[in-house]
Amino acid sequence: MNFVLVNDEPPQSAATCSTCSRSILSGYVRQVRTQRHYCDYDCYRRGELMTLLMPWSMPAGRKSAADNMIEMLAVLSAVSCWSSTIQIWTFARALTSVFLDGRDPITTEGGDT
């Protein structure tokens, strides 16, 4: 469970929506993990989306989640291309080896050396 819908009850203390900063009187959404208050489900979803797009703490510096996803996709694409190249190269080498081993070397006739 990610959130609790509280019907017809005001929060225990004066609270504002974590997304739009409106004051909450009654009927609100509370996130279970962080205990944040939201005025409705739409604000809760917007708050979760903003949390996903917040900058992640990285050792080399701060990057946004979109930058990290683009970097991850680039790395996965490079690995995929490299593994395909290795497989094709291995197959081509095997075919070449079979072709070259299947031919008999040209022998000279009449005792020529």
pLDDT tens digits in sequence order for the chain, 113 residues long? 466 767 667 677 778 888 888 888 777 888 877 888 888 888 888 888 877 776 655 555 555 656 677 888 888 888 888 888 888 888 888 888 877 776 655 555 565 55
**Residue 63 near residue 69, CB atoms below 8 Å:** no
* Cα-trace Rg, the chain: 32
Residue 77's identity, in one-letter code, is S
Q: How many CB atoms lie within 10 A of CB 67?
A: 13
Helices (H), 11-110: 41-53, 65-102
